[in-house]
Structure 1
Amino acid sequence: MSLCPDLPRPGFSFDNCKRNAALESRGYKSKGFVKTGTTIVGVCYKDGVVLGADSRATGGNIVADKFCDKLHKMSNKIFCAGAGTASDCDKVTEMIRGQIALLELNSGRDVRVASVVRIIKQYLYRYQGHIGCALIIGGYDATGCHLHSIAPHGSSMELPYLTMGSGSLAATAVLESRWKPDLDLEATKKLVRDATAAGILNDLGSGSSVNMVVLTKKGNETFYPYDIVCAKGVRSGLYDFPSGTTKVLRTKVIPYEIEKVEVRGASEEDEPMDI
Structure 2
Amino acid sequence: MNFMASKQPENSLLGPESDSQRTLYPYVTGTSVVALKYKDGILMAADMGGSYGSTLRYKSVERMKPIGKHSLLGASGEISDFQEILRYLDELILYDNMWDDGNSLGPKEVHNYLTRVMYNRRNKFNPLWNSLVLGGVKNGQKYLGTVSMIGVNFEDNHVATGFGNHLARPILRQEWHENLSFEDGVRLLEKCMRVLLYRDRSAVNKLQIAKITEDGVTISQPYSLKTYWEFSAFENPAQGAIGSW
| Superposed pair shares fold, TM > 0.5 | yes
Runs of 4+ in 1 over 3 A off after TM superposition: 31-37
Pick the aligned partner of 2:72 from 74, 79, 93: 79
Measured in 2, the distance between the counterparts of 1:35 and 1:73 equals 22
SS at match of 1:131: coil
Corresponding residue for residue 146 of structure 2: 149
Query: Given the two structures, how large is their TM-score scaled by the length of structure 1?
Result: 0.67
Contact residue 83 and residue 164 of structure 1 kept, 8 A: yes
Name the structure with the higher helix share: 2
The Cα of 1:37 is off from its aligned counterpart by 4.9
Pick the aligned partner of 1:125 from 116, 119, 125: 119
Measured in 1, the distance between the counterparts of 2:119 and 2:27 equals 20
Measured in 1, the distance between the counterparts of 2:121 and 2:25 equals 19
SS at match of 1:206: coil
Q: Which has the larger radius of gyration?
A: 1
Corresponding residue for residue 113 of structure 1: 107
- Amino acid of the residue matched to residue 79 of structure 2? A
Contact residue 100 and residue 116 of structure 1 kept, 8 A: no
Corresponding residue for residue 225 of structure 2: 229
Measured in 2, the distance between the counterparts of 1:187 and 1:229 equals 16
Query: Given the two structures, how large is their TM-score scaled by the length of structure 2?
Result: 0.75
SS at match of 1:228: coil
Relative to 1, partners in 2 of residues 1:205 and 1:45: Cα closer, same or farther, differing over 3 Å?
A: same
Measured in 2, the distance between the counterparts of 1:149 and 1:103 equals 22
The Cα of 1:216 is off from its aligned counterpart by 0.6
- Amino acid of the residue matched to residue 225 of structure 2? V
Pick the aligned partner of 1:206 from 186, 196, 203: 203
Larger mean Cα displacement after TM superposition, 46-55 or 200-209: 200-209
Percentage identity across aligned positions?
A: 19
Corresponding residue for residue 169 of structure 1: 166
- Amino acid of the residue matched to residue 99 of structure 1? L
Instruction: Map Cα deviations across residues 177-213 of structure 1 (whole Å, 9 max, x no partner).
Output: 2111111111111111221222122101111312111
Structure 1 segments unaligned to the other structure (5+ residues): 1-30, 232-275
Relative to 1, partners in 2 of residues 1:230 and 1:70: Cα closer, same or farther, differing over 3 Å?
A: farther
Corresponding residue for residue 40 of structure 1: 33
Corresponding residue for residue 218 of structure 1: 215
Structure 2 segments unaligned to the other structure (5+ residues): 1-23, 228-245
Corresponding residue for residue 64 of structure 1: 57
- Amino acid of the residue matched to residue 120 of structure 1? L
Measured in 2, the distance between the counterparts of 1:168 and 1:222 equals 22
Measured in 1, the distance between the counterparts of 2:202 and 2:226 equals 13
Corresponding residue for residue 179 of structure 1: 176
Aligned length: 200
Measured in 1, the distance between the counterparts of 2:141 and 2:25 equals 43
